Amino acid sequence: MESWEFGRMLRRWRDRVTPEAAGIPVGRRRRATGLRREELAGLAGISADYLTRLEQGRATAPSAQVVESLARALRLADTERDLLYQLAGHAAPGHDVVSSRVTASVQRLLDRLSANPVVVYDATWTLVLANAAYDALMGDTTGWRGLERNAVWRNLAGRTSRVVHTAQEQADHEARLVADLRLTASRYPADRSLQRLVTELAAGCPRFTSLWEAEAPPPMPEPTRRKVIDHPAVGRLTLDCDTLVVAFDDLRITVYSAEPRTPDADRLALAIVLGTQSLVD
């Protein structure tokens, strides 16, 4: 890796992004016009120490996932993103692999939705990003690593969730996820990361194998667009849940909302305040 040049470009692009553009509150005593190191690290989901070593050329092997996270946090144009991959020693992802790219235009859309819980998954149902309101509603996602970031694994492995499902609803949900992943695998046969994901799911989740190998998945009812969430502080609330698909990059954007001036809207607002107040003190 051209580590010195990689670090130089990170510093240059970090200085270019304003806190306002990144959705970061600006205090009165702020002198830096761009992002602070710890701010970029937080946006990219890496430690400030690791970012420091990257910028100084002392860390020389960032993964493709880290590069993509940095490109997204820095709001790089496509040509700049491709350059960052090249400087990190990676080929920029092509159309034959699952994308986790969030373009600047999609990011602007997400910024407008910041008051609502929003989560973004790629076509393998691997978490790309979750905003602060989503973490406040559903629980902190910032510590998720590896397979834990994949919704198929989390459901089949029985990881705790605040979404309330009956046993049948949960079974149908799992079957839909696996069926969708199988469609993704058929669209991206050359994606080695996707192949590894399927292998890991098969090794760790016996139910995955039975669902994956089913010759003709049984017809399933459409998922409800309303979900019941059992929040530990505000109790149960029922929310509208809409999933939008970014066609070119094959992303799934799920947005939670409540009818204004209803008890559910009040509980959602309280959950978000309770979950984010430490971020704005």
User: Which residue is listed with tokens 């553009």?
Assistant: 21
280, pLDDT greater than 50 = no
Of the ranges 16-25, 107-116, 138-147, 214-223, which one carries the lowest mean pLDDT score? 214-223
Specify the residue for token string 């940095």. 70
pLDDT recorded at residue 237: 97
Domain 3-87 adopts which CATH fold? 434 Repressor (Amino-terminal Domain) (1.10.260)
Mean pLDDT of 71-84: 90
Of 159 and 3, which is predicted with more confidence?
Answer: 159
CA nearest neighbour of 136 among 47, 239, 65 = 239
Q: What is the rounded average pLDDT of the residues 39-52? A: 90
- Cα 74 to the center of its chain, rounded Å: 16
pLDDT tier for residue 50 given thresholds of 50, 70 and 90: very high
Mean pLDDT of 163-167: 94
Dmax of the chain from CA atoms? 63
Q: Range with the lowest mean pLDDT among 60-74, 108-122, 227-241?
A: 60-74
Containing H/E element for 235? strand 235-246
Which class does domain 104-280 fall in?
A: alpha beta
Average pLDDT of the residues in 68-78: 89
Q: How far apart are CA 76 and CA 55, in angstroms?
A: 17
Question: Distance (Å, rounded) from C-alpha 281 to C-alpha 276?
Answer: 9
pLDDT digits (tens, 9 = 90+) for 196-249: 999 999 998 889 999 998 876 655 556 668 999 999 999 999 999 999 999 888
Better pLDDT: 185 or 65:
185
pLDDT for res 27: 66
**Range 90-95 average pLDDT:** 82
pLDDT over 90, % of the chain: 62
pLDDT averaged over every residue in the chain? 89
Q: Which two tokens stand for residue 61?
A: 């092997």
- Given a contact cutoff of 8 angstroms between Cβ atoms, the answer to whether 220 and 173 are in contact is no
Check residue 194 and give its pLDDT: 94
Per-residue pLDDT at 32 exceeds 50: yes
The percent of residues in the chain predicted with pLDDT above 70, rounded, is 93
Q: Which of 276, 236, 240 is nearest to 257 (CA)?
A: 240
Q: For 135-153, how does the pLDDT look when each residue is reduced to its tens digit (9 = 90+)?
A: 999 999 988 888 999 999 9
Position 217 scores a pLDDT of 60
- As a whole number, mean pLDDT of residues 168-195 equals 92
pLDDT at residue 24, as a whole number: 76
**What pLDDT does 278 receive?**
57
What are the extents of the domains in the chain? 3-87, 104-280
Return the bridge partners of 155, or none: none
